């Protein structure tokens, strides 16, 4: 067995670290959950320190440090950008694009030097970005053979890849590239461009756009998006007259004057959301689903696999994932808990092991609770001003009773989950039976747009009575599915305007406390389903520490908060 491997996603966005020691995954932790800075792009010092402490190691013990990009490919791509000088629609941006690629490569070289100084005894390796995504998705699935579809905004120059994932007789994973699309053909770029045009933050609030899409008419701008994102025999292309050629700089807009003239002016964040905004998002979302379905069919045809793993930022579009599942193209569809860039911290470490001929480590398959417990990181004595705390001997019963009584309760318990979805350990729970629960959550607790839906969590052995899962499970809240007749009748609050719900299925093996809460709530109400949203308010990351969770209690309309086995309330709501 080789020495410890530290995998990093750093210096871009969603910084994270993963550590593998002696064939065991020590953990995966996103820096934002410890720093309080959403999409933190800094060197993930807090996460690394926690991982090393947990493993009883020092930086000098690390044998290999792996990073989630290959900066040399940015440098190599710069000359190719000049080919865009030959097309009128792209010629103005060709030279700035080349320069931006060279700038990224130069910045990365400086950062690599800094890593070498921090880990002077370790070998430093860089892993192809889409390979990192692909190994994360395939290894976590537990499949021995699968098509692996990665769709994001940009990884070096790749934006979409289809690969064949396999395990050999020793359990060593391979990621064999079958097809690749390169920038400027980028579905993530297009989705982010419209997100930004409509006043939300790209690479952050695409979920808001997906939610708003359910309220619009996709036919109004259908022809526009058919032109803007054109399907081809190899995949798709973007029309540069509508989505201009990418330059890696915020100074260059992502939608064209023609796009604006044919849709609407840019919306400021504070401006009213109107019908044209709804219709624009609806058309974008439908085109995204069409492209993702086409890519999934290509993945099936080119690999022959009956199972699909999906990763990259676009994999967080749960409606598109649900459409792939519903089409029956694959027998199973799997999205890892951290399909975005933070998950590549694990993928690069897996790549190092695979290149050594080592199997997938223990603790990877099906795992999501991979980070620190509430008091592992942060202030050892969180600020308690205005807060009352007391021991709770029966937390599941206490929470279920409070929820049945109409309260909304936060949970900060056990190891932190990886990825963008709260999966019960850093969650806000509420009863789906309350008539005003969605308005209360959006207005008084999350401080976000009123049209945003909330996801349900259900006991796995009851979920199919309420949600049309088609035999699938959804432990990481990755798939939006319709409701059954019973579901739509009993718990209409959990279904969005499009009739879908992004459900999480849970059992006692995966999350004992959450399963017990659901069982107790079922005993009180007859419904084994709750609303589960992330423990945070808009603009802030999911609370990774006890200190952050208590701040959330103070700053929001939460009625109570459980941290491990202690029950906290504000003095003004006793």
How many Å apart are CA 153 and CA 130, to the nearest integer?
11
pLDDT given at position 383: 66
Length of the chain: 574
Task: Give φ, ψ of 302 to 5 degrees.
Answer: -85, -25
pLDDT given at position 141: 98
* Confidence band of 111 (pLDDT split at 50, 70, 90): confident
Work out the average pLDDT over 507-525. Answer: 97
Lookup: tokens for 327: 């089409």
Is the Cβ–Cβ distance between 349 and 19 less than 8 Å? Answer: yes
Query: DSSP letters of 367-392?
Result: --B-S--TTTSS-SS---TTEEEEE-
How many Å apart are CA 44 and CA 30, to the nearest integer?
8
pLDDT given at position 382: 64
Residue 350: which residues within 8 A CB-CB, separation 6 or more?
A: 7, 20, 132, 135, 136, 139, 173, 360, 361, 364
pLDDT given at position 381: 63
Instruction: Say which DSSP state 4 is in.
Output: -
Instruction: Say which DSSP state 330 is in.
Output: S
Is residue 47 exposed (0-12), middle (13-18) or buried (19+ Cβ within 10 Å)? buried
pLDDT of residue 336 exceeding 90, the answer is yes
Is the Cβ–Cβ distance between 522 and 459 less than 8 Å? Answer: yes
Share of the chain above pLDDT 70, in %: 98
- Using left for φ > 0, alpha for ψ between -120 and 50, and beta otherwise, residue 199 falls in left
pLDDT given at position 110: 85
Work out the average pLDDT over 24-37. Answer: 97
* Mean pLDDT for the chain overall: 96
């Amino acid at each position: 067995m080789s020495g410890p491997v530290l995998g990093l996603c750093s210096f871009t966005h969603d910084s994270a670290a993963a550590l593998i020691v002696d064939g065991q995954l020590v953990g995966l932790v996103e820096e934002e959950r410890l720093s309080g800075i959403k999409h933190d792009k800094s060197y993930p010092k807090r996460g690394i320190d926690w991982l090393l402490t947990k493993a009883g190691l020092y930086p000098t013990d690390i044998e290999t440090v792996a990073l989630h990009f290959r900066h040399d490919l940015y440098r190599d791509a710069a000359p190719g950008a000049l080919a865009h000088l030959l097309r009128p629609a792209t010629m103005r941006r060709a030279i700035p694009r080349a320069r931006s690629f060279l700038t990224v490569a130069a910045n990365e070289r400086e950062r690599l030097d800094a890593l070498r100084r921090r880990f002077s005894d370790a070998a430093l390796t860089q892993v192809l970005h889409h390979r990192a995504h692909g190994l994360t998705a395939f290894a976590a699935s537990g499949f021995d053979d699968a098509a692996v579809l990665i769709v994001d905004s940009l990884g070096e120059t790749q934006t979409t890849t289809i690969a064949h994932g396999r395990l050999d007789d020793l359990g060593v994973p391979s990621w064999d590239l079958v097809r690749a699309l390169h920038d400027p053909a980028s579905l993530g770029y297009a989705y982010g461009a419209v997100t930004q045009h409509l006043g939300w933050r790209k690479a952050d609030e695409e979920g808001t756009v997906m939610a708003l899409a359910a309220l619009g008419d996709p036919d109004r701008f259908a022809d526009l998006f058919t032109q803007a994102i054109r399907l081809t025999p190899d995949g798709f292309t973007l029309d540069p007259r509508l989505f201009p050629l990418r330059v890696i700089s915020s100074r260059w807009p992502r939608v064209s004057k023609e796009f604006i003239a044919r849709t609407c002016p840019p919306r400021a964040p504070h401006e009213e959301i109107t019908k044209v905004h709804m219709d624009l998002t609806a058309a974008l979302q439908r085109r995204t689903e069409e492209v993702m379905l086409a890519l999934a069919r290509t993945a099936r045809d080119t690999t022959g696999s009956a199972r699909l793993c999906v990763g990259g930022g676009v994999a967080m579009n749960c409606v598109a994932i649900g459409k792939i599942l519903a089409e029956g193209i694959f027998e199973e569809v799997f999205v890892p808990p951290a399909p975005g860039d933070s998950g590549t911290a694990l993928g690069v470490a897996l790549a190092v092991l695979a290149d050594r001929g080592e199997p997938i480590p223990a603790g990877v398959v099906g795992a999501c609770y991979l980070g620190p417990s509430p008091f592992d990181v942060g202030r050892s004595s969180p600020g308690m001003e205005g807060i009352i705390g007391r021991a709770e001997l029966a937390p599941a019963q206490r929470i279920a009773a409070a929820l049945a009584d109409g309260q909304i309760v936060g949970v900060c318990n056990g190891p932190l989950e990886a990825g963008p979805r709260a999966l019960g350990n850093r969650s806000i729970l509420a009863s789906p039976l309350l008539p005003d629960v969605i308005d209360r959550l959006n207005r008084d607790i999350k401080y976000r747009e009123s049209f945003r839906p909330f996801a349900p969590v259900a006991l796995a052995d009851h979920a199919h009575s309420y949600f049309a899962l088609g035999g699938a499970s959804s432990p990481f809240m990755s798939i939006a599915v319709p409701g059954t007749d019973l579901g739509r009748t009993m718990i209409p609050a959990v279904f969005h305007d499009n009739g879908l719900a992004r459900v999480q299925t849970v059992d006692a093996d995966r999350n004992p406390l959450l399963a017990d809460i659901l069982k107790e709530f079922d005993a009180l109400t007859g419904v084994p389903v709750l609303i589960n949203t992330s423990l945070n308010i808009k603009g802030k990351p999911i609370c990774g520490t006890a200190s952050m969770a208590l701040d959330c209690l103070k700053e929001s309309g939460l009625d109570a908060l459980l941290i491990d086995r202690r029950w906290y309330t504000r003095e003004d709501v006793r």
